[in-house]
Amino acid sequence: MSLILSLILFWAGASSVVSDISCISVPGNLKQIDAGAGQVWGVDDQDQIFQLVGNTFQQFPGQLIHVSVGPAGVWGVNRANTIFNLQDNVWTVVPGGLNQVDAGGSIYLAGVASQNNVYCSTPPSFNPFTLIDGSLKYYSCGLYGCWGVDNANNVYYREFVTQDLCQGVKWQPLAGSLSMLEVGTDGSVYGVNAAGEVFKR
């Protein structure tokens, strides 16, 4: 079964505009998906990992609850909050513990731990992780900034995040309510609210 979404475009300072967007149906069932650096990865309800090759999702060895791909590479976490990085087509354990990871930043890695603590890390070792003030359930970065949502579905933007300062300086609260969001490398921010509606900023 596939899911086709019509996006509701959201612009800062403007009213919402409904737009019909053509989507291509790709066979498969995934509970989480991420795209970046020209790749698409996802995981299903059995924690199996899949990579989109052409128009087909092909299973990849391992088990993860969340996978992310971007400028920082391919990363994932399992049910034990163990962090993995794909190196030479093999999952390598990275010290630390996260339940959500994002590889879309400008070379750095970001994520959220089980107590809603927010972290980021920079190359080459991506260790240790730097604790960021605040509490989020989901955190995502692109080349031009980082965004997050908390347990109350409030939306935040992290100011002054750079390649050399992945923790940024402070949180800027934004109007709106989202249950999760993802930032693209082109700067686009997509989010989903509690009703399953999709928004783009």
The verdict on whether omega for the bond into residue 128 sits within 30 degrees of 0, i.e. cis, is: yes
106 falls within a domain: yes
Q: Kindly report the three-state secondary structure assignment for every residue of 84-146.
A: EEEECCEEEEEEEECCEEECCCCCCEEEECCCCCEEEECCCCCCCCEEECCCCCEEEEECCEE
Please give the structure tokens belonging to residue 103.
Answer: 């590889």
- For residue 114, tell me if it sits in a domain: yes
pTM of the predicted structure, to 2 decimals: 0.84
- Answer whether residue 2 is part of any domain: no
pLDDT tens over the chain, length 201 residues: 223 222 222 222 223 333 556 677 777 789 999 998 889 999 999 999 999 999 899 999 999 999 999 988 999 999 999 999 999 999 999 999 999 999 988 788 999 999 999 999 988 778 789 999 999 999 999 888 899 999 999 999 999 998 788 999 999 999 999 999 999 878 889 999 999 999 998
Token pair 């630390």 in the structure block, residue: 96
Q: Considering the domain boundaries, does residue 3 fall inside one?
A: no
In a domain, 12, yes or no: yes
Residue 15 belongs to what domain range?
8-200
Q: Pairing relation of β-strands 8-9 and 198-200?
A: parallel
- Asked if residue 72 is part of any domain, the answer here is yes
CATH number, position 95: 2.130.10.30
- Split into its structural domains, the chain has a count of 1
Tell me whether residue 23 is in a domain: yes
C-alpha to C-alpha distance for 81 and 96, rounded to whole angstroms: 8
The confidence score (pLDDT) of residue 128 equals 86
Measure the CA–CA gap between 147 and 168, rounded to whole angstroms.
11
- Tell whether the torsion through CA atoms of 168, 16, 37 and 67 is positive or negative: positive
